[in-house]
Amino acid sequence: MSDRRPLIVGNWKMNGNHLEAIQMVQKLSYRLEETDYESVEIVVAPPFTSLRSIQIVLEQDRIPMKLGAQNVYWAEKGAYTGEVSATMLAKMNVTHVIVGHSERRAIFGETDSDVNKKAKAALSADMTPIVCVGETLEQREAGEAEAVVTNQLNGSIKGLEGAFVVAYEPVWAIGTGRNALPEDAALMARVIREGLRERVGSDRAELTSILYGGSVNPVNIKDLMAKSDIDGALVGGASLDPDKFASIIRYRI
């Protein structure tokens, strides 16, 4: 195992209003102990409308959880109706921003170059981008998984100066209850680590956390985390249930 500290991120997607979000975070915190925060870096990424409420709860109750956003726009300000800038997020103590989630790529047509600009915007506001990559089932069955993921990675992290996280999320495993086998996820994480070595050098590649995402649950997390190149998880559905999310975070126990 490396020195990389495990990172577990809850991606709530478009779920919960701000009142429900407050309850979810409080329930989660009741289920966690100080040692959990010491051993794992925990991030919750609610919809934009809940960020401010959760920020206040985390600060008032001194909960050492971090706040993530699910998206960002690369311009600093201006006539971009419906968008949110990196500086606006950073001002609310958002520390992580998910960029290039497969849902954004597939439903909203985001390209690697868009993802790259978003990651740069996050870094410029001192936030850590979580760059998502992953192949579809068709691509996997055609034996293209490694090539697709490597291409996405190269396009998305081009010229990034600063620390970022990579999330490997095979599209066929997201929200399907069908997680990648830990061996397959580990193989792709190794491919990503190798790609990182080539693009950003060995030292930075060693420091970069690689997460697995796609139907992570309290049962499969242990085997996934046992793989040396998997440093954490990006959790969707199960992160909406405080009991499940807490036991994922406490996978060691």
Rounded distance between C-alpha atoms, residue 86 and residue 106, angstroms: 22
Find the binding residues for ligand PGA in span 175-234 (CB under 6 A).
Answer: 175, 213-216, 234
For the CB of residue 240, give the shortest distance to ligand PGA in the complex, in Å.
Answer: 9
- 20 is known as an active-site residue: no
Q: Smaller CB distance to ligand PGA: residue 85 or 129? A: 129
Q: Smaller CB distance to ligand PGA: residue 123 or 248? A: 248
Q: Is the Cβ–Cβ distance between 24 and 242 less than 8 Å? A: yes
Would you call 27 helix, strand, or coil by DSSP? helix
Q: Which of 101, 110, 135, 146 is catalytic?
A: 101
Nearest residue to ligand PGA by CB is 236
Q: Is 174 in the site for ligand PGA (CB under 6 A)?
A: yes
Strand ranges (E), the chain: 7-11, 41-45, 66-69, 94-99, 128-133, 165-168, 210-213, 232-235
For the CB of residue 102, give the shortest distance to ligand PGA in the complex, in Å.
Answer: 7
- 206 is known as an active-site residue: no
For the CB of residue 12, give the shortest distance to ligand PGA in the complex, in Å.
Answer: 10
Binding part of the chain for ligand PGA, among 53-61, 113-121, 222-230, 235-243 by CB under 6 A, reads: 235-243
Q: Smaller CB distance to ligand PGA: residue 85 or 234? A: 234
Instruction: Report long-range pairs for 228-232 (Cβ below 8 Å, ≥24 apart).
Output: 228/1, 228/2, 228/186, 229/186, 229/189, 229/190, 229/192, 229/193, 230/182, 230/185, 230/186, 230/189, 231/2, 231/4, 231/5, 231/6, 231/7, 232/6, 232/7, 232/8, 232/9, 232/40, 232/41, 232/165
Give the x/- contact pattern for ligand PGA in 113-152, rule: CB under 6 A. ----------------------------------------
Rounded distance between C-alpha atoms, residue 92 and residue 58, angstroms: 11
Q: Is 110 in the site for ligand PGA (CB under 6 A)?
A: no
- Going by their DSSP bridges, the two strands 66-69 and 210-213 should be labelled as unpaired
Cα-flanking dihedrals φ and ψ of residue 85, to 5°? Answer: -90, 165
Give the x/- contact pattern for ligand PGA in 7-36, rule: CB under 6 A. ----x-------------------------
For the CB of residue 159, give the shortest distance to ligand PGA in the complex, in Å.
Answer: 25
For the CB of residue 24, give the shortest distance to ligand PGA in the complex, in Å.
Answer: 15
Q: Is 235 in the site for ligand PGA (CB under 6 A)?
A: yes
Q: Is the Cβ–Cβ distance between 167 and 130 less than 8 Å? A: yes
Binding site for ligand PGA (CB under 6 A): 11, 169, 174-175, 213-216, 234-238
| Residues known to be catalytic | 101, 169
